Structure 1
Amino acid sequence: MKKVILIATLFFSVCMFANAQKSVKVAAAANLRDVFMEIKEAYEKENPGVKIDVTFGSSGNFVQQILNGASFDFFMAADKSFPLKLQNKGATYGKVSTYIYGKLAVWSNTIDVKKGLDVLKTNAVKRISVANPETAPYGERAIELLKKQNIYDEVKTKIIYGDNISAAAQYAFTGNTEIGFIALSLAMSPEMKGKGKCYVVPQNLYTPIEQACVLIKKNSRNIAAEKFMKNIIGHNYDALWIKYGYSK
């Protein structure tokens, strides 16, 4: 009887492990929202039985959550510094790998931002939404840009900070701010594409947004997560990345 129970226990343990290995829990930067959902749909169709579970948020917040034991398998950050922080803390395995380069944009429902950044100083602009620069790389780049262009001191009292880049985009999209610094990928989303006015900030005006990813160290390797990462850093989804304004 004991032998039967032991065999049954081992069988269910193996089944549970196999199911866990077919699930990949991803922590993804908020700027990836729309493109990631298309990648997820394509990947799950190409790999029946594999489930990609994703949570979107700010890269800095994810670092803290992972260091505090959050159960993620794979981290797709909005720049390279955050995966490197986890690597330095011994919370990862394998290489930190760049998967795409993001682009910063200025977006408004009502104001013509296509002429550049000087419009931020006008009286027509009362509020400017920016992602929290402490935890969101796109917000950090926006503040860097404003300071480099000697605009920051003139507009800093207008800035409203969002928890992440999606929040900053929503503030502008809903009219809570006249202008928002957002990821170009969000301006290309189904919700915002073709609406409002968008200025793509020249990439030579701010530090490149090198978005990188890494596997999170667990008690055992997740082969499904490793395979998914190979697809992300490869060229399988180049057409989708380009569709949302990224470059490889």
Structure 2
Amino acid sequence: MLLRCLKFLLVVLFIFCSACAKRSNKNTITIATAANMQFAMQELADRFSSQTDIACEFVIASSGKLTAQIKEGAPYDVFVAANTKYPQAIYDAGFSYDIPKIYAYGKLVIWSLDEKLQPSFETLSNLQVKHIALANPKTAPYGLAAVNALQRKELYEHLEEKLVYGESISQTNQFIISGAAEIGFTALSVVKASEVRTKGNWILVDDSLYSPIEQAAVLIKRGEQVNEAAKAFYEYIFTEEAQEILLEFGYSVNE
């Protein structure tokens, strides 16, 4: 009799735990986030979660790498990219519900933590500068913008041997912070973040030196029905409150 009761209690406990897990999963979404959005995304998610009780988990990488993962079936709910090209590729491949929608426009900066260096295009040619960090232009839109800027300043060929490529803006930042690169290109949203705001010096790269960094997002298809929690976050990105947060991080929202 005692053994039968114990078995019954174990079954009840298993069902209860399973139900809790399902409820937890239902209230947790996974956001594939371009590395430039790392700090801004945390603020957006914190504000969203406090209002909805929906938890947000992030996978942070270059937009190109995230695109490849989504096409391979990675279980992401929302893709917040650093351009429109990659979200469009997701839509064209049938992995999103709608065409990409632009949520912000990114800005490029030159950043250095070396107190002896004042960031500028002229400084890049300085003999003290052995390494210039930038994100991989093949997969990271900010890396492509940096290459475009160097080409338009007619510096790319002259500086090519100094260039060191991070897999994403996140790894590029690590090169600069660690001193592995004396100077480099990153997103304005990074140097505006409270975590690094007081570190080093930076200058804004003139918008005319690179194509506009139009950052778009898409809601990923997962199963036959729309994930309402994911949809709620996707829609939140375009609210006035979210747009104000993006402005605080240096993004433009009305170009």
TM-score in same-fold range (> 0.5): yes
Q: Secondary structure at the match of 1:70?
A: coil
Structure 1, unaligned stretches of length 5 or more? 1-7
Quote the Cα distance in structure 2 between the aligned partners of 1:11 and 1:98: 42
1:24–1:224 CA contact under 8 A, matched in 2? yes
Q: Secondary structure at the match of 2:237?
A: helix
Quote the Cα distance in structure 2 between the aligned partners of 1:129 and 1:224: 37
Pick from 200, 203, 210: which aligns with 2:214?
A: 210
| Residue identity matched to 2:205 | V
Quote the Cα distance in structure 1 between the aligned partners of 2:202 and 2:34: 21
1:179 corresponds to 2:183: yes
Q: Secondary structure at the match of 2:69?
A: helix
> CA offsets per residue over residues 185-210 of structure 1, 9 Å max, x none?
11112232122110100112110011
Which residue is 2:29 aligned to? 24
Which residue is 2:122 aligned to? 118
Which residue is 2:236 aligned to? 231
2:88–2:99 CA contact under 8 A, matched in 1? no
Identity %: 34
Q: Secondary structure at the match of 2:74?
A: coil
Per-residue deviation, 1:24: 1.4
Quote the Cα distance in structure 2 between the aligned partners of 1:34 and 1:13: 33
Mapping of residues 1-248 of structure 1, within 5 Å: 19-48=24-53, 50-110=54-114, 111-113=117-119, 116-219=120-223, 220-248=225-253
> CA offsets per residue over residues 19-39 of structure 1, 9 Å max, x none?
544221110001111111111
Quote the Cα distance in structure 2 between the aligned partners of 1:128 and 1:37: 28
Q: Secondary structure at the match of 2:181?
A: coil
| Residue identity matched to 2:161 | T
Quote the Cα distance in structure 2 between the aligned partners of 1:213 and 1:13: 32
Structure 2, unaligned stretches of length 5 or more? 1-11
Quote the Cα distance in structure 2 between the aligned partners of 1:80 and 1:17: 34
1:132–1:162 CA contact under 8 A, matched in 2? yes
| Residue identity matched to 1:201 | V
> CA offsets per residue over residues 157-211 of structure 1, 9 Å max, x none?
0001111001111211221111110001111122321221101001121100110
Per-residue deviation, 1:108: 0.7
Quote the Cα distance in structure 2 between the aligned partners of 1:189 and 1:23: 25
TM-score (norm 1): 0.90
Deviates more, 1:189-198 or 1:11-20: 11-20
Instruction: Quote the RMSD (CA, aligned, Å).
Output: 2.1
Per-residue deviation, 1:16: 6.4
Which residue is 1:3 aligned to? none
1:99–1:234 CA contact under 8 A, matched in 2? no
| Residue identity matched to 2:167 | D
